[in-house]
Amino acid sequence: MSTDVSEHPMTAELESRGQIPMLTFRGFAESVVLMGVSSAANAIRGVLSAKVLAVLLGPSPVGILSQLITFSALLMTVVPLGLTTGVAKMVAERKGSQDECNRVIGSALAIGLGSGAIAAAAALLFASALSNVLLGTSKYALLVALLAASLPLSNFSGVVGYVLQGVGEIRLLTAVNILAAAAALLAVWPLAYLYGLEGAVVAVVASSVFQAAISAVALIIAYRRLRWDLRRMRFAKSEGRQLLGYGGIMLVSGALLVGGTVIVRTLLTRDVGTYANGLYQVPFVLSAQYVSMFLLWMSAYVFPRLASERSPERLAAGLNFALVANLFVLTPVFVGVVAARDMVIDVLLSSAFLAAAPLLVVQVLGDLLRIVGWSYGYALFAQGHPWAHFLLVACQILVWVCVAATFIPSLGPAAVVGAYAVSQLTTPLLAYGMGRRWFGLRVTTEGVGLLGLAAFLIVVAALLPTWIALALIPVLPLVAILARRRSGVAWAA
């Protein structure tokens, strides 16, 4: 059966009412590709910028710059007050009403710019003290002040990005990210070459200015496509309170994730040593790459459609479709990473980390459970259950920290990845239970079968020689395609 979205009757019905279409594999695949390109652009920018700065500045200035950038990144995480997924959710829910969306967008921009301005003013006021705390001297106060001055612009760009997600402008969002990455890369070389450390900081600030400018252009383009009027955008107290409520939950959830990781890694270092913590860096870093990709396309494509859906039946069908699509896309990645784990570690890190190869297998199994859980769990926040979203995060972190703390002294880094895999069992169980209660969610034979096949392929890939195991990469997608063709089910929900 054709995968063309236009042939799916449910999509036609939604489009006739002016709503965002529900999930299709074509749209899902497009989102994966676009977010992949965006992430690749940022990765290339990061690698090349690091190389340029290492050559032009040397170790000591790079260390100073890294400390300043890390501090700036911390501010950019806290200062937006959690204006992330909540913005996309509220925009997607209200996309049918220009006035309501203008109140949400205007409120989000006002909060973002306001909090950024306040934080920037405070950082400017205490720039010397911050320089002393971060670097042991006040001589870098001007650089701290420059980075702080860009906070309102960073907040603006972030809010616009989530607005674009909410209205379904994934291509426009990708264009903004690619242009911003290119501009940052082009700015850093001449400025660092001519002015050293100061030039590198100016390049960071200049790239923030450029990203804010192209974000503004993207917002104007999105408004024109929707035939909305920017002049009607305004702040509204009710929308502002709701955004801050959502933002608070997201901030606390993010703090739990970071805090749990810090606790586990501190215990590992204290009880076993820095070598063990270094080995754990292998599964931690590699997992972060594909999990971040999963979160990107779920946020950009799936989340807005879940937030705008009001039919429990279509919502449940969409969640089961999201699970199948995620397994379709990510199982080959999981199998490939496990099959070629020695080569992956050797190429991306070094042969000194090969002892971490067995850890990677367990980490991947935990990530498989994480993907399953959040394929369902994304609907909780989208459908107005933010505290249920928080519960998923909190339970997983609590189990991970408790189990890891119990077994780290005897098992070392193996306890960390094992505890991670065990803790991820809580995510699909809780997400499915709450989804069944609120949305009438029921597992499908297809979803359970593909999950079982994915786990089986990962385990077998870990046992077979590399070149034989690599042949397992396309197995699950082929099985899924053949099963859908045989049953005559469309690749859409």
For the CA atoms of the chain, what is the radius of gyration?
Answer: 23
Walking along the chain (493 residues) 10 residues at a time, the average pLDDT comes out as 35 42 73 81 79 84 84 82 87 90 96 94 93 89 93 95 91 93 91 92 94 97 95 94 90 85 87 85 84 83 86 89 92 95 83 88 96 94 92 96 95 94 96 94 92 97 94 95 78 60
Report yes or no: 444 and 409 within 8 Å, Cβ to Cβ.
Answer: no
Angle formed by the axes of helices 59-78 and 151-166, nearest 10°: 60
Name the helix (H) or strand (E) containing 471: none
pLDDT of residue 29: 79
pLDDT of residue 25: 76
pLDDT of residue 441: 92
What's the gap between Cα 42 and its chain centre? 13
**Bridge partners (DSSP) listed for residue 24:** 492
| Cβ-Cβ contacts under 8 Å for 170 (sequence gap 6 or more) | 30, 31, 34, 35, 164, 300, 301
pLDDT of residue 6: 34
pLDDT of residue 9: 38
Q: End-to-end alpha-carbon separation of the chain, Å? A: 14
Q: Which two tokens stand for residue 207?
A: 């790239």
Q: Which two tokens stand for residue 206?
A: 């200049």
- Alpha carbons within 13 A on the beta-carbon side of 436: 9
CA–CA gap between residue 295 and residue 303 (Å, rounded):
10
Check residue 189 and report its DSSP letter. H
Written as one string, the DSSP assignment of 79-140 is: TTTT-SHHHHHHHHHTTT-HHHHHHHHHHHHHHHHHHHHHHHHHHHHTHHHHHHHHHSSSTT
**pTM (predicted TM-score):** 0.80
Q: Which two tokens stand for residue 134?
A: 């971060």
pLDDT of residue 491: 63
Q: Where are the domains of the chain?
A: 1-235, 248-493
Look at phi and psi of residue 369 and say left if phi exceeds 0, alpha if psi is from -120 to 50, else beta.
Answer: alpha
